[in-house]
A = this chain, B = another copy of it.
Amino acid sequence: MGDTRAPGQRAGLTRDAILRCARDVLSEQGIDGLTMRSVARRLGVAPNSLYSHVAGKDTLVDDLLDDVLGEVAEPRTTEPAAGLRQIMTSTYEVLLRHPDLVPLYLARQGSRGGNAQRLGEIMLDLLDAAGIAGPEAQEARRVLIVYTIGFAAMTTGSTSDAATSLLSRDVLAANFTTGLDWLLEGILATSDNQLPPHSL
């Protein structure tokens, strides 16, 4: 650790580098191990240095969560049922890829960052194409989001629970899809323009 820097000497710090590092620390040390100081230490930098690139710990975590949502694939169709199933499934897969983040999403009830907003609007567009708009659309969206994050938490969490480990990821993922289809069926059934019967 001989490479101490005098005040003023640049370290080449970057908002992205900090986010990446925070993600690494989180996955290696868990949520309790994620501190400004631990991130700074791993970057070989004084804790305060982070504040030149990040507003604070809360927004760091917020940014972290929203950053990951950038991995969610946009749906490749404008057909409501298929599009919604695609976007939710992609979200579910992204969450499974970052198990450590899932409890954070739950505690903060999602994310309000740019990526979250973008995905949210895509969902509203799809719902609108199904004839669902206004408050009902907002609600349907929240149902889908809660279901997806909740299910990811179920798939992901508490490996200490003996009963859980008996269930394979695949089984749970399959159940995610069937439950999602139940929800979509129910949501889209409230629409005025009914869908063609076999669209699900």
User: Across the interface, which residues of B come within 8 angstroms of A154, CB to CB?
Assistant: 109, 142-143, 146
**Contact among B106, B143, B185 with A107 in the assembled complex (CB-CB below 8 Å):** B106
18 contacts between A and B (CB under 8 A): A103-B106, A103-B107, A103-B108, A106-B107, A106-B109, A106-B153, A109-B154, A109-B157, A135-B166, A135-B167, A138-B164, A139-B167, A139-B175, A143-B179, A146-B147, A146-B150, A146-B151, A179-B186
Q: Indicate if the CB atoms of B172 and A179 lie closer than 8 Å.
A: no
Q: Does A51 contact B (CB under 8 A)?
A: no
Q: Indicate if the CB atoms of A138 and B150 lie closer than 8 Å.
A: no
Interface residues of A (CB under 8 A from B): 103-104, 106-109, 135, 138-139, 142-143, 146-147, 149-151, 153-154, 157-158, 163-164, 166-167, 171-172, 175, 178-179, 182-183, 185-186
Least CB distance from A186 to B in Å reads: 5
User: Across the interface, which residues of B come within 8 angstroms of A103, CB to CB?
Assistant: 106-109
Q: Which 3 A-B pairs have the closest CB atoms?
A: A106-B106, A146-B150, A150-B150
